[in-house]
Amino acid sequence: MNIKGSPWKGSLLLLLVSDLLLCQSVAPLPICPGGAARCQVTLGDLFDRAVVLSHYIHNLSSEMFSEFDKRYTHGRGFITKAINSCHTSSLATPEDKEQAQQINQKDFLSLIVSILRSWNEPLYHLVTEVRGMQEAPETILSKAVEIEEQTKRLLEGMELIVSQVHPETKENEIYPVWSGLPSLQMADEESRLSAYYNLLHCLRRDSHKIDNYLKLLKCRIIHNNNC
């Protein structure tokens, strides 16, 4: 899903401008998302919501992966083929605490947004493909649907945060593109299962990454590294 050309962008900007005009008495950062009746959503509230969403998404992803592995691929060494299979590995993401503390706030936020954006399409196809499967596993499908929806919300929230913290940020549309759709549609079951395994494996990892990053940023921005 390409956000760049979507009508969301324009409407979101319009809402933001109107809300900023309307809500004058919000401290510390005046923001009125979505034209809500109460224009009192602070940055802290936004981060809290984002953390809740990211935590939730990772829990869903972890459960979904466990269910899939247990049902289809356990003990069959699919993990070996999942090495270096994530499409977001091209992103220079911090891998430990020191690296995360070295990255600046703005880049950090952009990074998170890129990861989220890069997952819009794979999630969409995941839902489509699982739904079209014969004997579709209902639990996996429901979780996939939920993850897709919540990821969208998280992305919107992140974009709000970015607009608040770094309003001057130019829209960065660069994000890793997923091209694993053909693999999901392969006739060979082994290959197909491997493709699903890789997708779910990467989803679990990236959701954990986003959750950890957001918790780091929340403590850094809101609590000044004093959580």
Shortest approach of other proteins to residue 54 CB, angstroms?
10
Report how far residue 79's alpha carbon sits from residue 194's, in angstroms, rounded to the nearest whole number: 9
- In the block, residue with structure tokens 């992966």: 65
With vertex at residue 56, the alpha carbon angle to CA 54 and CA 59, rounded to the nearest 5 degrees, is 110
Assess 62 for contact with other proteins (CB under 8 A).
Answer: yes
For the record, the structure tokens of 20 come out as: 């900023």
Assess 102 for contact with other proteins (CB under 8 A).
Answer: no
Assess 225 for contact with other proteins (CB under 8 A).
Answer: yes
Shortest approach of other proteins to residue 143 CB, angstroms?
16
The correct pick among 89, 105, 128, 185 for binding other proteins (CB under 8 A) is 89
Contact (Cβ atoms closer than 8 angstroms) between residue 191 and residue 78: no
**Which lies closer to other proteins via its Cβ, residue 56 or residue 72?**
56
Assess 58 for contact with other proteins (CB under 8 A).
Answer: yes
Assess 218 for contact with other proteins (CB under 8 A).
Answer: yes
The correct pick among 24, 25, 75, 96 for binding other proteins (CB under 8 A) is 96
List binders of other proteins among 197-216 (CB under 8 A): 205, 208-209, 211-212, 215-216
Of 57, 98, 58, residue with least CA distance to 216: 98
The correct pick among 64, 162, 199, 217 for binding other proteins (CB under 8 A) is 217
List binders of other proteins among 118-177 (CB under 8 A): none
Which spans of this chain sit near other proteins (rule: CB under 8 A)? 55, 58-59, 62, 79-80, 82-84, 89, 93, 95-98, 100-101, 205, 208-209, 211-212, 215-220, 223, 225-227
